[in-house]
Amino acid sequence: MKKRDIIKKVVDISGLTKGDANKAIKALVKVIQTSLQSGEVISLSGLGSFRIKSRQSRVGRNPKTGEIIPIPPGKKVSFKPSATLRKFIVNKL
C-alpha cells in the first residue's frame, strides 16, 4: 500500500478532504520522525510502539569477495505490535 492509497482510505473513513488527509499524514510522519530522532518511544494504542535500538559493532563478510569487514555500531528503528494488532492479524489469517 502506498501513501496515496492510505490517503484515499483516510478520506473514505474520516470524511476529510484529500488535502486535509494528506496534511494529517505528513504531520504524523514528521512527529514520528522527530520524536524518534530525540530518543522518545512512540506508542499508538491498537497499533504498537516504535523505538530506536542500538546495534553493537560486529564483523561481517562481503558476499561478493568473501572478505571480512568491520561493521560499525549503529541505530535502527524497532516496531513492536500491540496485543490488539497481533490478535487482529491472527484472527484474519
Predicted confidence (pLDDT) per residue in 4-60, tens digit: 999 999 999 999 999 999 999 999 999 999 999 999 999 999 999 999 999 999 999
Q: What is the pLDDT of residue 91?
A: 82
Per-residue confidence at 93, pLDDT binned at 50, 70, 90?
low
Cα distance between residue 81 and residue 50, in whole Å: 9
Cα distance between residue 37 and residue 16, in whole Å: 29
Q: What is the pLDDT of residue 90?
A: 85
Residue for grid cell 530506536: 52
Q: What is the pLDDT of residue 9?
A: 96
- Predicted TM-score of the model (pTM): 0.77
